[in-house]
Amino acid sequence: MSTGPDNWTKSSWKKFTALQQPNWPDQDAVDKVLTDLSTLPPLVFAGEIRSLKELLAKAVTGDAFLLQGGDCSENFSHVTAPNIRETLKVLLQMAVVLTYAGGKPVVKVGRIAGQFAKPRSADMETIDGIELPSYRGDMVNCAEFTPESRVPNPKYMLKGYNMAASTLNLLRAFTRGGFGSLQRVQAWNQEFVAGSPLGRSYDRLGKQISQAIRFMETIGISADTPQINQTQLFTSHEALLLQYEEAMTRQDHITGDWYDCSAHMLWIGERTRQLDGAHVEFLRGVHNPLGLKIGPNYDLDDVKRLVEKLNPHNEAGRLTIITRLGMKNVEKVLPPLLREMKREGQNIVWNCDPMHANTYTAKTGHKTRNFNDILSEITCFFETHWSEGTIPGGIHLEMTGNNVTECTGGAHNINDEQLSSNYLTSCDPRLNAEQSLEVAFQIADMIRS
């Protein structure tokens, strides 16, 4: 039975420096929660994780496209049926547009059912001269700026597990039970096209998709075939809280391999990807597909070593590099990375996160991102891949199905003053449902022309 790579155990990360971990006040309480978590059922099972890896292997060669999206940070109080439904709905709508335009399957992965822990730029936050521990996500402490709320509470890890379980339960029901049937999703797309100020530019593509569906019906592919009536959404989050991730890690009975069963896919953030750090140590040993965030100031040797360490057998589908470079930097800093990985023959899913390096503070003080900047990063990402002869394999968005006003621009041209009307995020600004669909239609245009 294989156990894991050399000297790896699910606890070996403890011998390394783990950044961004909470300072729990009561170690006994933490241990009790971790014992409970390690005996609870896994949230996902190894067979599903392996299927995702196989699908991602297709995105390496351009035979599938990865659509990864959801909240920057999920909140316990937002885990409701309407919120889960609306996020799923917009992801499915985007997937139909991208599938038709790209002529290849779209692998749907939510930042959902576990995205409850956040890295912070500072341990402490100061407001009006009062200094308190930073908010680290609902799985650690509360966002409210009071001394009591900011104390890390390990019971929130257990609550996070339960929230993830109920989210997944509903997602599985929706995706299996006909909610996401192709006809319904396309009807929603037609509603979007009809209601968008830019409707006309999306109209043609919308009509073509509807015609393709009618054609399938005409030749007898009925609405209740599973390919039409059912869909699949995988889950992902940043593997940040290593105690939680370790407690959710199980050995698969069939293969003997270790899987982190808190989600199908896990990623390592820009702030915790140190080569000799605890996050890299932990993730190198689990067999899930991994994401690796890379920002504009990366060191090429460092990335090469990370790739070698996280995917030593160059297994396709194992590693997705999520570039988050900033629209001004892509043209300059993406080519050297692509060239080197291509030269080494590395199997990588190249995924574009056009959000994290395009954040700025609006006049009103809101943390925001502009729709056109996001689109420029995406366009430049595709064009750079095409000119380098590499494959643009996916996009990674912070988005929601709700009608929030967190990012400026888009067809309704949200301006700085309008940001406060429905600004709900507890962390980074998300694209709303319309802005997300616009991104999908714009990418569709780009990949078809």
Site residues for ligand PEP per CB under 6 A: 72, 119, 238, 269-271, 293, 324, 356, 428
Question: 318 is in the binding site of which of ligand PEP, Co ion, none (Cβ under 5 to 8 A by kind)?
Answer: none
Contact between residue 273 and residue 290 where contact means Cβ atoms under 8 Å apart: no
- Least distance from Co ion to the Cβ atom of residue 367, Å: 10
- Least distance from ligand PEP to the Cβ atom of residue 412, Å: 25
Cβ distance to Co ion smaller for residue 257 or 428: 428
Q: Which stretch binds Co ion (CB under 5 A): 92-100, 297-305, 403-411, 420-428?
A: 420-428
Question: 287 is in the binding site of which of Co ion, ligand PEP, none (Cβ under 5 to 8 A by kind)?
Answer: none
- Is residue 252 a contact point for Co ion (CB under 5 A)? no
Q: Find the binder of Co ion among 260, 406, 428, 438 (CB under 5 A).
A: 428
Cβ distance to ligand PEP smaller for residue 206 or 277: 277
Token pair in block for residue 186: 């396309």
> What is the C-alpha separation between 361 and 143, in angstroms, rounded?
20
Q: CB count, 10 Å around CB of 183?
A: 15
- Least distance from ligand PEP to the Cβ atom of residue 428, Å: 6
Query: Which residue lies nearest ligand PEP, judged by its C-beta?
Result: 269
- Is residue 268 a contact point for Co ion (CB under 5 A)? no
- Least distance from ligand PEP to the Cβ atom of residue 196, Å: 27
Residue 233's closest CA among 135, 355, 93, 372?
93
Cβ distance to ligand PEP smaller for residue 246 or 270: 270
> What is the C-alpha separation between 89 and 309, in angstroms, rounded?
37
| 3-class DSSP string for 227-283 | HHHCCCCEEEEECCCHHHHHHCEEECCCCCCEEECCCCEEEECCCCCCCCEHHHHHH
Half-sphere exposure of residue 441: CA atoms within 13 angstroms, side-chain side: 26
- Least distance from ligand PEP to the Cβ atom of residue 325, Å: 10
Q: Interface residues for Co ion in 70-99 (CB under 5 A)?
A: 72
- Least distance from ligand PEP to the Cβ atom of residue 170, Å: 23
Question: 373 is in the binding site of which of ligand PEP, Co ion, none (Cβ under 5 to 8 A by kind)?
Answer: none
| Cα separation values, 429 from 47, 48, 138, 366, 413, Å | 34, 31, 17, 9, 15
> Which residues are bridge partners to 369 per DSSP?
359
* Strand 265-268 to 124-127 pairing: unpaired
Cβ distance to ligand PEP smaller for residue 68 or 231: 68
Residue 157's closest CA among 312, 70, 36, 72?
36
The binding site for Co ion (CB under 5 A) comprises 72, 428
